[in-house]
Structure 1
Amino acid sequence: MSPVSLIFRRLIPYSSKSYLKQSQRSFWNFISQGKNMGDIKKTIEARIAGKKVVIISKSYCPFCVKAKKVFQDEYLKPGLLKEDEYDVMEIDNDPNCEEIQQLMSQMTGARSVPRVFINGNCIGGGDETVQLHSQGKLKALL
């Protein structure tokens, strides 16, 4: 019997074998996340630092669509923002979606999407983006 099995048998003495195997997988997934989270954090931080505007998004989210529409219609099309200064990271099909949302929670205080970053600072989500634009403050941030 492996040391991990012994630990889980002591922690969960009356559990079924299938639950024990599931718990072991969850345990090892949790351990491996720690190594992966550092890489994810570096990647996200590099993307945010490398662009004027970064949106962490899910393609089906109406708030994400709202935020992206503001930038596309009001800043990209008229040429106020260049394509190479703008990055949308669609995380709904990313295998690290959960970890990215956990990281957003740590970085911004919210794990919901969209998370909109301008010059490295999070301005909030879709509603905040629309509000700042309607107040004329979004252009000043760019």
Structure 2
Amino acid sequence: MAEQFVKGKIRADKVIVFGKASCPYCHQAMDLLKQLRVKPSHLEFVDIGGRSDTEAIQSYFQQTTGARTVPRVYIGEICIGGFSDLQELHSKGELIPKLKQIGVL
């Protein structure tokens, strides 16, 4: 069920941030993506905090991405990691090309 939920949200032409409303790093990830002007229709925050299957979703993230923490940021169909990974890509000048590659800028 968790796998279906996650896979059902991921799209090749979207940036998806799986997180929790109470997580400051989730908000910072969304703020950075908005500052870069990712098209609103191609940016989605998926709040897993209030779901009954939150633990299962985070276990699925552990299996597929190597970490169960949020945010889990997907650029297209690839999980790039969490907020610190997003920041690092941006500081290296690699984030904008990735976003352009999937057509969200």
TM-score normalized by the length of structure 2 = 0.85
- Name 1:69's counterpart in structure 2: 31
Report how far residue 47 of structure 1 moved.
0.9
Cα gap change, 1:111 to 1:83, in 2 (>3 Å): same
The ranges of structure 1 where at least 4 consecutive aligned residues each deviate by more than 3 angstroms after the TM superposition are: none
Indicate whether 1:46 and 2:8 are aligned: yes
Q: How far apart are the structure 1 equivalents of 2:69 and 2:55?
A: 11
Report how far residue 51 of structure 1 moved.
4.6
- Name 2:90's counterpart in structure 1: 133
- Name 2:67's counterpart in structure 1: 110
Contact in 2 for aligned 1:56/1:91 (Cα 8 Å): yes
Within 5 Å, give how 1:23-38 maps onto structure 2.
none
Cα gap change, 1:90 to 1:51, in 2 (>3 Å): farther
Q: Which runs of 5+ in 1 are unaligned?
A: 1-38, 76-80
Deviations 1:40-86 (A, max 9, x none): 312211211365211111112122122111011222xxxxx222211
Q: State the identity as a percent.
A: 33
Secondary structure in 2 matching 1:54: strand
- Name 1:101's counterpart in structure 2: 58
Q: Which amino acid aligns with 1:62?
A: P
| Larger RCO: 1 or 2 (CA < 8 Å, sep 6+) | 2
Q: Which runs of 5+ in 2 are unaligned?
A: 100-105
Q: Tell me the C-alpha RMSD between the 2 structures.
A: 1.4
Indicate whether 1:56 and 2:18 are aligned: yes
- Rg larger for: 1
TM-score normalized by the length of structure 1 = 0.64
More strand by share: 2
Alignment length (residue pairs): 99
Q: Which amino acid aligns with 1:70?
A: L
Secondary structure in 2 matching 1:88: strand
